[in-house]
Chains A and B, each alone.
Chain A
Amino acid sequence: MTQIEKPKPALDAKIIVPFINATREVFKRMLSLETEICRPLLKTEAGPHYDVTGLIGFSGSLIGSAALSFEEPAAVSIVACFAGQKMESTSPDFADAVGELANMVAGRAKRDLAGDASITIPNVIIGKSYSIAALRAFPCLIVPCRTKAGDFAVQISIKQMAAVPNAGGSQT
């Protein structure tokens, strides 16, 4: 009989919780949507795959990326709540809206994350057949989220960088 080892935590809760809180807050304040957070899962090479992804990079004291990912119908519905009007997924404004949502969630989460990190401009990927590479040294946690407008996922693949001691510095 095979013994199953208890898996080690993929990511520090101190990193995950700010993203969950930020998602809830942004969706409530900007889209008037309550968000139900479901059980997180570790991303594997096999997927899941999404049609629309708003990807934000982190650099500085936190490195990695965070993403909001949707199936297309949910993305169209959620963007309509955000923008106040329905947009086709082929419209440039649709990509702008997805990027802005991702930017808001990452920006809000950054405020609660320790350290001095910068977030990048969003990268929005839209299509039916693509995969985003998972960095080997960076496990990616998928947090499935449910709203009345549709389901989506927050993907978090971020590590805290070790602080570099200040040479010659001392605290009293």
Chain B
Amino acid sequence: MDFNLNDIFQLAGTIWQATLGLTIEPEQPDAIGSCGRATVACVQITGAWNGAVFLSCPADFARRAASIMFNVAPASITVSELQDAIAELVNIVGGNVKGLLPDGCHLSLPQVVEGADYSARVPGSRMIGRVAFRCDSHAVSICILEKVETKTVAA
């Protein structure tokens, strides 16, 4: 399955504008490095196509997004609200990506990881597209992974 990365960027721009009222600017994926505390959210797609959509951002951006979504001052945002906000964003992105796929695909619930010193890997998948952008000076990226079909040993 091939995704047009420009379409994904446009999609992200529409979602960010509609849900947060914020604009995004394109960024080179290689320009995004480690940013201290980070939030990574993922929705997975199963069925006619198998893969995952990851959204990665600094915790500060997650706090800003939650502040807008819940209409609460950034300093008052709880970790749960911060995670809920990013879960909602990745759920909307994943739902729109699913709309580009053939019928018969299911979206999983979002999984959100927040912390300062961790790595997230999806064994058995390959990255087929990555879009990076800046929003309010924060570097955000969206990755689309596709499951690599391999023979597995049945338990």
Contacts and interface: CB of A to CB of B under 8 A. Distances in A.
Interface of A: 22, 25-26, 29-30, 45, 55, 57-60, 63-65, 92, 95-96, 98-100, 103-105, 107-108, 118-133, 135-136, 138
Interface residues of B, number: 39
B122 A121 contact: yes
A131 B80 contact: no
Given A100-B152, A108-B155, A120-B44, A133 B80 contact: yes
A101 to B, nearest CB: 9
B115 A25 contact: no
Interface stretch (B12-20, B21-29, B103-111, B134-142): B103-111
B121 A126 contact: yes
Given A96-B124, A121-B125, A122-B122, A59 B107 contact: yes
A128 B108 contact: no
The 6 closest A-B pairs by CB, nearest first: A127-B118, A130-B115, A120-B44, A57-B108, A133-B83, A118-B46
Chain B residues touching A, majority SS: strand
B30 interface: no
Contacts of B120: 123-125
Given A118-B46, A119-B46, A121-B52, A57 B109 contact: yes
Given A131-B113, A133-B113, A118 B106 contact: yes
Given A59-B107, A107-B155, A128 B117 contact: yes
B80 A45 contact: yes
A55 to B, nearest CB: 6
B155 A131 contact: no
Contacts of A65: 108-109, 111
B89 interface: no
Contacts, number: 128
B117 A129 contact: yes
B11 to A, nearest CB: 21
10 contacts: A29-B155, A59-B109, A60-B46, A65-B109, A99-B123, A105-B155, A122-B122, A123-B42, A130-B113, A133-B83
B7 to A, nearest CB: 23
Interface of B: 42, 44-47, 50-52, 79-80, 83-84, 87, 106-125, 145, 147, 152-155
Chain A residues touching B, majority SS: mixed
B47 A118 contact: yes
B150 to A, nearest CB: 10
Contacts of A135: 87, 109-110
Contacts of A119: 46
A128 to B, nearest CB: 5
Nearest to B83: A133
A60 B122 contact: no
B97 to A, nearest CB: 14
B115 A131 contact: yes
A45 B80 CA distance: 9
Given A58-B108, A108-B155, A131 B79 contact: yes
